[in-house]
Amino acid sequence: MRRALHAAHRPARAVTAGAVVLAWSFGGVGVACAQPAKSPYPTMAPIERYLTQNPADEITLARSAAPPSISSDADVLVLGTRGYESAGKGKNGFVCFVQRSWAAGFDDPEFWNPRLRAPNCFNAAAARTELPQYLKRTEWVLAGASKEQMIEKTRSAVADHSFKSPEAGAFSFMLSKDGYVNDQAAGPWLPHVMLFVPHGQAAAWGADLEGSPILGKDGSEIESTVLFIPVRRWSDGSPAPAPAQPHTHTK
């Protein structure tokens, strides 16, 4: 698909950053040292396990994705039994929400992990071209679609241009200290911003080259390319930990 279906269909090729592997195509971050032969989450859990019992908690978590100067004026979405619903109208064009595991690539072993909660805050460009794909995928999940059915639906949406390439300038904040990006991280990864660019443009950004601060690789043709740039501080202004080791290029 030409965009990172945020949760695109496969781990937009794994990108190593120290001991971390980024493997999300929808704007999330998967962290793992190596993908297991079999997924510990082969099927979807009961929907109740993906929901937050207290919507106020989800609102707070969603806003933690970006600095208060941005998130306090952003739209906020909260996941309910019928999909994401508005929990607050903003005025700056940003949209903050908490992604679930199906934002990952279709090949990600934690695609159905009910523990995942990834706070994300899209700017207006990303909200126009990336967010609709994630919301549609969520709609499919709640309707009971299998992963295989979701893949086929995605291919069709790309073919008929329902899913569009990332708009110029599309990016998001993932600066929360409180998310849970996967079992390997057992919490957040590193605060980072993400750029969404059309498939095939990773090299043009110098992504994943030795010493480059930009991480990411092109995934399949039916997903956007997501570029990750770790930053020094969390959304509350506190300093972030340094990566376990410098990023080095591997062939």
pLDDT at 218: 86
- Please answer whether residues 133 and 141 qualify as being in contact, where contact means their C-beta atoms are separated by less than 8 angstroms: no
Strand ranges for 23-112 from DSSP E: 75-80, 83-88, 95-99
What tokens were used for 13?
């090729």
Q: From its phi and psi, is residue 68 left (phi > 0), alpha (psi between -120 and 50) or beta? A: alpha
Question: What distance in Å separates the CA atoms of residue 20 and residue 172, rounded to the nearest whole number?
Answer: 20
| Cα atoms found within 13 Å of the Cα of residue 182, Cβ hemisphere only | 28
Write out the H or E segment, with its range, that includes residue 196.
strand 192-197
pLDDT for res 242: 80
CB within 8 A of 204, min separation 6: which ones? none
Enter the pTM of the model. Answer: 0.84
Which runs of consecutive H residues, i.e. helices, occur in 167-247?
Answer: none
Sequential pLDDT tens for the chain (251 residues):
333 333 332 333 333 333 343 444 555 544 443 444 578 999 999 999 999 999 999 999 999 999 999 999 999 999 999 999 999 999 999 999 999 999 988 888 999 999 999 999 999 999 999 999 999 999 999 999 999 999 999 999 999 999 999 999 999 999 999 999 999 999 999 999 999 999 888 999 999 999 999 999 887 777 788 999 999 999 999 999 886 655 444 44
Note whether 43 and 49 are within 8 A (CB): no
What pLDDT score was predicted for residue 28? 53
pLDDT at 140: 97
Quick one: tokens of 100?
Answer: 């679930």
Spans of all domains in the chain:
15-230
Q: In terms of DSSP bridges, do strands 20-22 and 15-17 run parallel, antiparallel, or are they unpaired?
A: antiparallel
d(CA 198, CA 138): 22
By the 8 A CB rule, do 158 and 190 touch? no
* Interatomic CA distance for residues 29 and 204, integer angstroms: 22
Distance of alpha carbon 181 from alpha carbon 27, whole angstroms: 11
Task: Please name which of 166, 169, 176 lies closest in space to residue 231, comparing C-alpha atoms.
Answer: 176
**Using CA atoms, how far apart are residues 59 and 77, in angstroms rounded to an integer?**
8
**Is the Cα dihedral 21, 94, 114, 55 positive or negative?**
positive
pLDDT at position 26, please?
57
* Model pLDDT, residue 105: 81
